[in-house]
Amino acid sequence: MSTGIGRARARRREPAVWLAAPGALFFVVLVGIPLLIVIWTSLLNINASDIAHWATAPFGAMANYADGLMKPSVTGVSVLDSVWISIKFSVLSTVFGTPIAFFAALSVHHAFRGRALLRSLYLVPYVIPGFVIALLAQLAFQDHTGAVDHLLAALHLANVGTYWLIGGNAFWAMTFTEVWEVWPFIYLLLLAGLQSIPKEQLEAATVDGADWWPRLRYIVIPQLKGIYALAFALSTLFHFGNFTLPYVMFGNTRPSSVVTLPINIYYIAFQGFGFGIASATAVFNVALLAVPASVYLWMARRARAREARQERVRQARVQEAGA
Amino acid sequence: MRKSHSAHRLLPPVFSRVGAACLVVFIAVPVLYLIALALSPNSTVALGGTDFQHWTTSNFTSMWSAAAVAQGLLNSVIIAGTSAALAVVLGVCAAYPLARLRFRARKPLLYSLLGSQSLPQLSLLLPLYIMLAGLQGILGVHLIGSYPAIIAVYMTFGLPLATVVCFTYLRSMPTDLEEAALTDGCTRFGALRRVVAPLMAPAMVVSLVLAFLVGWNDVLFASALQNQTIAVTLEQFGVAQGEGFGAQPLYGDLMAAALVSAVPVVVLYLAFQRHLVHGLAAGALSGT
């Protein structure tokens, strides 16, 4: 990895290094210390409430931890159940959003009049603030008076008064809203991936008589796989952490089918005042997300290495052409 | 010529056109529904509809007294604006050495900045709340619910974002100009101020907008820390309407206020679309 000017002057002490100090300090205070505190509180409370047990049976503390995760919290839903709700919610949202995103990216790759406008339109759901969409969804899904109820009834798909905001239906109303709101994120990444495919490949294939399907199948899809994996991981990660939608969309009558992990932790901490259990759950959440996050970092590094490789090849070609 | 033009077509034309039209309808219907509700009297919205013949802009005048919309907007502008500005200043300063110099803390700092972006928000909210409550006791001043506290908290997300965006931008910028300035006797700080900073303007705009949106769109931190931002104001207004027990809910006002708080953001986004999309993709792909 080259560091530009840094290489030439590596030996000399650069006072400019200290420019990073204020940012780094803020970062340590706002992220580093809080992370240590949350780990500490998650352990402290458990030890304090059950210290004798901890002394005699080292694994007792773990059972206690597990108890906190298994028992229903103030929301009436156990932490493990909300982990499952969050996983379903985030993976399904990504999966349902994928075909829309693929279609959208593929439909604006070739040049045509109005392409810029269409690209902007595709971004609209993503750029409307999440709380606005959640408030709108709350009204749209209301029974008897909501637009969704009437629309589905008019299409003979459901009866008026299906009650989309309570019971199991609420989960699907929430997932639908989430899909509508964030598919453009996957679309954006796919579009970036499409634009990095060398033009010559598509043009050469066309000269050789390849129609859209072979071009898509043998040139585009293989080169989009990497970035799609990245988009999948990132998008799932974002959905998993979405607090705004379930919190705002359902007001104070939140059905248990939408108690996602962030909602549950929030209520344990700020309504049940169980900061210990909430911290333990938050730490558990970090550990849970570390898996997709490390996959993301790994994929990103690979994507970067691939880019660097392509860049080297391109430069070599330019040099050859010049020689 | 024609061949190379159509070479980028990746879907059959009819499918592409019909599909795009369906997608536009899919996007437009909820947005138009929002606008229609905002333009309908409260009594019509409460009955679940909109009446095209009786559209009125009265919600846009009545909403200010129905809820503390103006105060909410002002709070959001102050909080999101200040935290974004601070995040960008500190972010540019941190990005420069990270991109151009070699030092021992470089890699750990870079990786922690990137890693922090995938931390669940609640894992930071809880300890930050505990810290603020503790500091409050020691210093004897109110921090929870104050501007400085929430501004600092939003920087938790704004600062790494701004640093990463500026870092990625700097890495893709040639070093020739700086080197020329340095050989001509400019100090490094001089080069940073006179040469690098002006060239960094697009990256700074992107990070400013993105960091602003962090604060503007947030509900979690503002409700836990009891700050009446526009998001929290409207969320609570919505809850109050739902629990109004018999009273006519002011959903028309609610939708008008929601529309007013969404429009600046959408305009901001679309105005800087080209830069933002680039910055977003760079941020997501900057695994180093």
Domain count for chain B: 2
> Which residues of chain A have a CB within 8 Å of the CB of B224?
266, 270
Cα distance between residue B113 and residue B157, in whole Å: 10
Confirm or reject contact between A264 and chain B (CB < 8 A): no
> Which residues of chain B have a CB within 8 Å of the CB of A192?
277, 281, 285
Cα distance between residue A50 and residue A68, in whole Å: 13
Residues 41-70 on B with a CB inside 8 Å of A are: 45-49
CA-to-CA dists, residue A227 to A60, A122, A176, A282, angstroms: 44, 19, 24, 29
pLDDT tens-digit profile, chain A (323 residues) = 444 454 444 445 677 888 888 889 989 888 899 888 888 777 755 443 443 343 343 344 455 566 667 777 777 788 888 999 999 999 999 999 999 999 999 999 888 888 888 988 998 998 899 999 999 998 888 877 777 877 777 787 777 777 788 888 899 999 999 999 999 999 988 988 888 888 888 888 888 888 888 888 888 888 888 888 888 888 888 898 899 999 999 887 788 899 999 998 898 888 877 777 788 788 888 888 787 677 777 777 777 787 788 778 878 877 777 66
Helix, strand or coil for residue B22? Answer: helix
Task: Specify the pLDDT at position B79.
Answer: 96
Helix, strand or coil for residue B227? Answer: coil
Least confident of A194-198, B180-184, B232-236, B283-287: B283-287
pLDDT at B284 over 60: no
Task: Specify the pLDDT at position B28.
Answer: 93
A78, β-bridge pairs = A72
Q: Residue B133 belongs to a domain with what CATH number?
A: 1.10.3720.10
* Token couple for A265: 């932790």
Report the 3 state secondary structure along chain A.
CCCCHHHHCCCCCCHHHHHHHHHHHHHHHHHHHHHHHHHHHHHHHHHHHCHHHHHHCCCHHHHHHHHHHHCECCCCCEHHHHHHHHHHHHHHHHHHHHHHHHHHHHHCCCCCCCHHHHHHHHHHHHHCCHHHHHHHHHHHCCCCCCHHHHHHHHCCCCCCCCCCCCCCHHHHHHHHHHHHHHHHHHHHHHHHHHHCCCHHHHHHHHHCCCCHHHHHHHHHHHHHHHHHHHHHHHHHHHHHCCCHHHHHHCCCCCCHHHCCHHHHHHHHHHCCCCHHHHHHHHHHHHHHHHHHHHHHHHHHHHHHHHHHHHHHHHHHHHHHHHC
Task: Specify the pLDDT at position A179.
Answer: 95
Task: Specify the pLDDT at position B259.
Answer: 93
DSSP state of B105: T
Task: Specify the pLDDT at position B146.
Answer: 92
> Which residues of chain A have a CB within 8 Å of the CB of B155?
26, 30
Smallest Cα distance from B236 to chain A, Å? 8
Quick check: B2 and A206 in contact, CB under 8 A? no
Quick check: B163 and B94 in contact, CB under 8 A? yes
CB contact under 8 A, B109 and A27: yes
Give the residue carrying structure tokens 């300890």.
B127
Please report the number of interchain residue pairs, chain A to chain B, with beta-carbon separation below 8 angstroms: 328
- The CATH number that domain A73-322 falls under is 1.10.3720.10
Q: What do you get for the CA distance between the two ends of chain A, in Å?
A: 27
Burial (CB count <10 Å: 0-12, 13-18, 19+), residue A313: exposed
Task: Specify the pLDDT at position A288.
Answer: 81
Do B77 and B13 share a domain, yes or no?
Answer: no
> Which residues of chain B have a CB within 8 Å of the CB of A303?
285, 287
> Which residues of chain A have a CB within 8 Å of the CB of B23?
100, 103-104, 107, 122
- Range(s) of the domain holding residue B20: 2-59
> Which residues of chain A have a CB within 8 Å of the CB of B27?
121-122, 124-125
Cα distance between residue B266 and residue A281, in whole Å: 35
Q: Tell me the Ramachandran region of residue A71: left when phi exceeds 0, alpha when psi lies from -120 to 50, beta otherwise.
A: beta
Which amino acid, one-letter code, is at B77?
A: V
Task: Specify the pLDDT at position A63.
Answer: 53
Do B87 and B34 share a domain, yes or no?
Answer: no
Cα distance between residue A232 and residue A95, in whole Å: 8
CA of residue B8 relative to chain centroid, distance: 33
Which sequence spans correspond to the domains of chain A? 15-70, 73-322
Smallest Cα distance from A51 to chain B, Å? 23
Do B111 and B160 share a domain, yes or no?
Answer: yes
Count of other CB atoms within 10 angstroms of residue A190: 23
pLDDT tens-digit readout, B182-201:
888 888 888 888 888 888 88
Confirm or reject contact between B288 and chain A (CB < 8 A): yes
Task: Specify the pLDDT at position A51.
Answer: 35
Mean pLDDT (chain B) is 85
The dihedral through the CA atoms of A215, A221, A227, A231 has a sign that is: positive
Do B93 and B7 share a domain, yes or no?
Answer: no
Cα distance between residue B56 and residue B41, in whole Å: 7
Residue among A132, A144, A212 whose CB faces B10 most closely: A212
pLDDT tens-digit readout, B202-226:
889 889 988 998 899 999 999 999 8
Quick check: A86 and A288 in contact, CB under 8 A? no
Give the residue carrying structure tokens 């790494």.
B160
More confident residue, B160 or B246: B160
Q: What average pLDDT score do residues B3-17 get?
A: 77
Cα distance between residue B203 and residue B96, in whole Å: 12
What are the residues whose beta carbons fall under 8 Å from the beta carbon of A141, sequence distance 6 or more? A148, A149, A164, A165, A173, A249
Confidence of residue B41 (pLDDT cuts 50, 70, 90): confident
Residue among B93, B235, B286 whose CB faces A23 most closely: B93
> Which residues of chain A have a CB within 8 Å of the CB of B49?
145
Do B30 and B73 share a domain, yes or no?
Answer: no
Residues 89-128 on A with a CB inside 8 Å of B are: 100, 103-104, 106-111, 118, 120-125, 127-128
Cα angle for residues B186, B192, B194 (degrees, 5° grid):
70
Smallest Cα distance from A277 to chain B, Å? 11
Give the residue carrying structure tokens 């699907």.
A172
> Which residues of chain B have a CB within 8 Å of the CB of A106?
10-11, 16
- Mutate one of A212, A232, A235 to test the B interface: name it (highest B CB count within 10 A): A212
Smallest Cα distance from A270 to chain B, Å? 7
Nearest to A165 by CA among A180, A179, A177, A151: A177
Do B54 and B76 share a domain, yes or no?
Answer: no
Confirm or reject contact between A207 and chain B (CB < 8 A): yes
Task: Specify the pLDDT at position B285.
Answer: 52
Confidence of residue B120 (pLDDT cuts 50, 70, 90): confident
CB contact under 8 A, B288 and A251: no
* Token couple for B37: 């509700």
Do B78 and B210 share a domain, yes or no?
Answer: yes
CB contact under 8 A, B122 and A282: yes
Smallest Cα distance from B226 to chain A, Å? 11
Do B211 and B75 share a domain, yes or no?
Answer: yes
CB contact under 8 A, B48 and A145: yes
Smallest Cα distance from B180 to chain A, Å? 11
Cα distance between residue B17 and residue B28, in whole Å: 16
CB contact under 8 A, B239 and A279: no
Cα distance between residue B224 and residue B222, in whole Å: 6
Do B85 and B10 share a domain, yes or no?
Answer: no
Do B74 and B47 share a domain, yes or no?
Answer: no
CA of residue B231 relative to chain centroid, distance: 12
Q: Tell me the Ramachandran region of residue A4: left when phi exceeds 0, alpha when psi lies from -120 to 50, beta otherwise.
A: left
Confirm or reject contact between B256 and chain A (CB < 8 A): no
Cα distance between residue A69 and residue A75, in whole Å: 13
DSSP state of B53: G
Cα distance between residue A319 and residue B72, in whole Å: 59
Quick check: A196 and A190 in contact, CB under 8 A? no
CB contact under 8 A, B10 and A237: no
pLDDT tens-digit readout, A267-301:
888 887 777 778 878 888 888 878 767 777 777 77
Confirm or reject contact between B133 and chain A (CB < 8 A): no
CB contact under 8 A, B242 and A132: no
Give the residue carrying structure tokens 């593929």.
A106
> Which residues of chain B have a CB within 8 Å of the CB of A123?
269-270, 273, 277
Confidence of residue B78 (pLDDT cuts 50, 70, 90): very high
